[in-house]
Chains A and B, each alone.
Chain A
Amino acid sequence: MKEGQIRIPSGCSISGLIDKSGKLFSGEAIIRSMSVMHDRSNGLGGGFAAYGIYPGYKDYYALHVFYDNISAKKSCETFLERHFDIINLSKIPTRKIREITDEPLIWRYFVTPLPTKLSESQLDEREFVVKCVFRVNTRIEGAYIFSSGKNMGVFKAVGYPEDVGRFYRLEEYEGYCFTAHGRYPTNTPGWWGGAHPFSLLDYAVVHNGEISSYDANRRAIEMYGYKCTLQTDTEVIAYIVDYLHRRKRLTFSEVASIIAAPFWQTIERMPPNKREVHEYLRNVFAAQLITGPFSILVSFDGGLMALNDRLKLRSMVIGEKGDLVYVASEEAAIRVIEPNLENVWSPKGGEPVIVRLNGGLERVG
């Protein structure tokens, strides 16, 4: 059975690192970080999101697509040609390794919406891209766009994360931010699209946990035009982030106050103006509250947010050294790439850590 036809809970490991100065570095480090947490995955899913990797095409949406077969590729390309100007297309480079098998066709397209189609749709450009991604993923059998942001890309597969990294030759990419995920699903998904990160536009989410609010969140977000085809927590969290941050124009700090809302007893102790805002957010966005264990990394164009559920039911550690900020499920996964950290701590439940390029690190709470 394919991912999406059943709901598969997973345990996981996550890791992420970002250079606040925007300096580019190789994907090698994130692979090493993940390999330390090998036992937190079971070989049934691993993946990476990398930012700043396509400077030559930074104004174009980079679509990464899985195809089950040639005919799916043909239908998808016909669709893309009708809606986008395709600047460049190629197979995503991979290396044959024993640990990764049964790969689908994996293609990459750099595109920009056709101006006529875009104005006809009466949508803003990003919404237009989102609509097209949903169209392909729900209507074209055997085609799946798993990455659709600018100057960033997601690389994922069924396998252990360190093997997935080598398979995609991640060490050959240079970016300012990487996040990664190792998956321990309690079922056999056997489909590459089900691996994480889950991404939409430049948002990518990696998540460790199993949220208990899933169906409440899913049914609410589907009302706003999203389709949860994978039935995974990560997918619904990514849509919630997109909805709140892009469509409702809330700040990441406000997004965190919604999905990991402070308890009422905390809100009641706040000064009146702060209390009013939190009460407003919990009232209006009640359906976007996420309960149950999670630690997530939300990466986006120019930054990264790390967030734990409000009871902190999953481990997550932050490390700092110079301009680099590290986040991982285990401290060991940070120490392996930077043994001499200047600062190490565990953020409290529900208190986000937001890192921005040139903007420093913000600890909210």
Chain B
Amino acid sequence: MSVNFIYPVYEIERKYDRCIVCRVCERQCANEAHAYLPDLDKMVSDDTKCVNCHRCIALCPTRALKIIKSNNTYKENANWSGKTMNELYRQASSGGVLLSSMGNPENYPVYFDRMLLNASQVTNPSIDPLREPMETRVFLGAKPHHIERDQTGRIVNNLSPYLTLSMPVMFSAMSYGSISYNAHESLARAAQELGILYNTGEGGLHEDFYCYGSNTIVQVASGRFGVHPDYLNSGAAIEIKMGQGAKPGIGGHLPGEKIVGDVSRTRMIPEGSDAISPAPHHDIYSIEDLRQLVFSLKETTNYQKPIIVKIAAVHNVSAIASGIARSGADIIAIDGFRGGTGAAPTRIRDNVGIPVELALASVDKRLRDEGIRDNVSLVVGGSIRSSADIVKAIALGADCVYIATAALLALGCHLCRSCHTGKCNWGIATQKPELVKRLNPGIGYKRLVNLLMAWQHEMKEMMGGMGINSIESLKGNRLMLRGVGLTERELDILDIKYAGE
């Protein structure tokens, strides 16, 4: 045993009386955790290689496999957890920054779970969505300040460019490169079928997907990968990515081994070169610079597309949002500290940023206090896990939510949080052709459609219960929320009452 040895946190348990030595686990594991011993005609596993992605478990025909949490332990210590010690050992041997994927898994409060929804009783009837229309259509964009009429008195359509969604949900940015072609295709087709939008992320747009343009948000991030006039004009909206909830304040890094073939072409960088997005946009060092980029993009697209500015939820988020609301942007997207990522330094992911519920409550209030809430729509993400989270976010004041982790789960992701290794056994966060082909976009998009149809149905049930038959009457309707297990200060920031009040 090496002195660097770290005992695996999870162990593969195989029931040998069930194993038929079909070797499917071995073929399915890109991490090579399973092996066949021909002499003994027996399967064996190496726990140290297992990332706990459940691919083998899902495909084992005899249910011979399961993953269990190891009971191997250091001497218990309330201050130095086993995880902290292991991370330290790893850094002592490598000298490197710890990397992680997906959202912050640490035990911080989840405010969505501390807010409860209202329902009608006696004084006001609940509404049955199976019998009455229940509307979830939303528009995103700036609202005009004045009504204009022509000579005949007819109202003139003076709306700035806006997005129309069948429900207040969009797929948030995941770049082609960080996720696979088949994952992108699944998202694009689902967005089209659902009447919502997906987001290209910062890796450009594969030429095969230009046909989904009216359901596409094209992103412009600090690396400007794959950005050219046709790209900007191909989508329904343009998103300037200023920050990401999983890694506020830092840029991105897609390793050279993922920059292959079409990814390289789409990003417009040579094969094998690392794609490094700088921490800031080097043409935006302040708010007035942002305004210039917003208007450069509007010029390029002939003022036909709404501009989204995406920021990470950080301490000063309401002041930042207030600045963006006056920058000419049409939509602000706020990404909470639970938001996912394909790769981020662990310490950043787990320690930087604030919960999106609090950020949303403050931003919505600040924009209203300043009378500029109509200048922009608010989209929040990081992390929305269910239809109930959506309903609560809308009641706090969001116009729409972004989902990404939830969408990947629908495509098969089991949250093993190993995207940065590029060996995703589910064909999502990988560019290896033999893995990518495991994700069938024909099935994947249907699962996404299923998920959101189910969520939409649940939203309608919850809205109907509250006596609300249109989503706009839920927006910012904080009387529909009550807090539990929250301090006075938290209630103040969320601007909601305590349960029983």
Chain A residues close to B by CB (< 8 Å): 7, 9, 11, 186, 209-217, 219-220, 222-224, 248-250, 254, 261, 263-265, 273, 276-277, 280-284, 286-287, 289-293, 310-311, 313
Given A264-B137, A284-B143, A292-B468: A9 and B155 interface contact (C-beta under 8 Å):
no
State in angstroms the CA–CA spacing of A56 and B468 once bound together. 46
Asked if B107 CB lies within 8 Å of chain A CBs, one says no
State the 4 A-B residue pairs at the shortest beta-carbon distance, nearest first: A213-B473, A212-B467, A215-B479, A286-B472
Q: Which of A210, A265, A283, A289 is in CB contact (< 8 Å) with B139? A: A283
Binary contact track B444-469/A, C-beta < 8 Å → 1, others 0: 00000000000000000000001111
Contacts of A248 in B (CB 8 A): 147
26 contacts between A and B (CB under 8 A): A9-B124, A209-B124, A210-B123, A210-B124, A213-B468, A216-B473, A216-B475, A220-B373, A223-B368, A223-B371, A249-B147, A250-B147, A261-B470, A264-B135, A273-B154, A277-B154, A283-B162, A284-B147, A284-B159, A287-B472, A291-B467, A292-B467, A292-B473, A293-B467, A310-B469, A311-B469
Interchain nearest-CB distance for B145 vs A (Å): 10
Smallest CB-CB separation from B155: which chain A residue? A277
Flag whether B256 is at the interface (Cβ < 8 A): no
Residue of A nearest to B126 (CB): A212
Please name 7 further chain A to chain B contacts, defined as beta carbons within 8 Å, in addition to the given A214-B477, A223-B371, A311-B132, sorted by A numbering. Answer: A186-B123, A210-B124, A216-B476, A220-B373, A222-B368, A254-B155, A290-B473
Choose among A216, A249, A280 the residue that contacts B477 (Cβ–Cβ < 8 A): A216
Complex contact B157–A212 (CB within 8 A): no
Q: Which of A211, A215, A250, A289 has the most CB of B within 10 A?
A: A215
A186 to chain B, nearest CB (A): 6
Alpha-carbon distance between A284 and B145 when the two chains are bound, in angstroms: 9
Assess A280 versus B155: contact at CB under 8 Å? Given A213-B468, A287-B472.
Answer: yes
User: Which residues in A have their C-beta under 8 angstroms from that of B467?
Assistant: 210, 212, 291-293
Within 8 A of A (CB), among B322-374: 368, 371, 373-374
| Residues in B neighbouring A215, C-beta threshold 8 A | 476-480
**Given A265-B133, A291-B473: A276 and B124 interface contact (C-beta under 8 Å):** no
Alpha-carbon gap, A222 to B466, bound state (A)? 23
**Inside 8 A of B397's CB, which chain A residues have their CB?**
219
CA separation between A327 and B480, bound complex, in Å?
Answer: 32
A residues within 8 A CB of B472? Answer: 213, 216, 282, 286-287, 289
Is the interface on chain B under 10, 10 to 19, 20 to 34, or 35 or more residues? 35 or more
Closest partner residue, chain B, to A286 (CB atom): B472
Asked if B144 is at the interface of the complex by the 8 Å CB criterion, the answer is: yes
A219 near B478 with CB under 8 A, answer: yes
Interfacial chain A residues near B309, Cβ < 8 Å = none
What are the interface flags for B466-501 relative to A under an 8 Å C-beta threshold, 1 for contact and 0 otherwise? 111110111111111000000000000000000000
A209 to B124, CA, bound (A): 8
Contacting pair A216 B368 (CB below 8 A): no
The answer to whether B475 touches A287, judged by C-beta atoms less than 8 angstroms apart, is yes
Any A CB within 8 A of the CB of B127 = yes
Q: Does B120 contact A (CB under 8 A)?
A: yes
Q: Determine if A293 and B124 form an interchain contact, defined as CB atoms under 8 angstroms apart.
A: yes
Q: Does B272 contact A (CB under 8 A)?
A: no
With a cutoff of 8 Å between Cβ atoms, the chain A residues found around residue B473 in the complex are 212-213, 216-217, 289-292
Give chain A nearest CB distance to B370 CB in angstroms. 9
CB distance from A312 to the nearest CB of B (A): 11
A261 CB contacts on chain B under 8 angstroms = 470
Known A223-B373, A250-B147, A286-B472; contact A212-B124, beta-carbon cutoff 8 A: yes
Query: Is A292 touching B124 in the complex (CB atoms < 8 A)?
Result: yes
* Residue B125 CB within 8 A of the other chain: yes
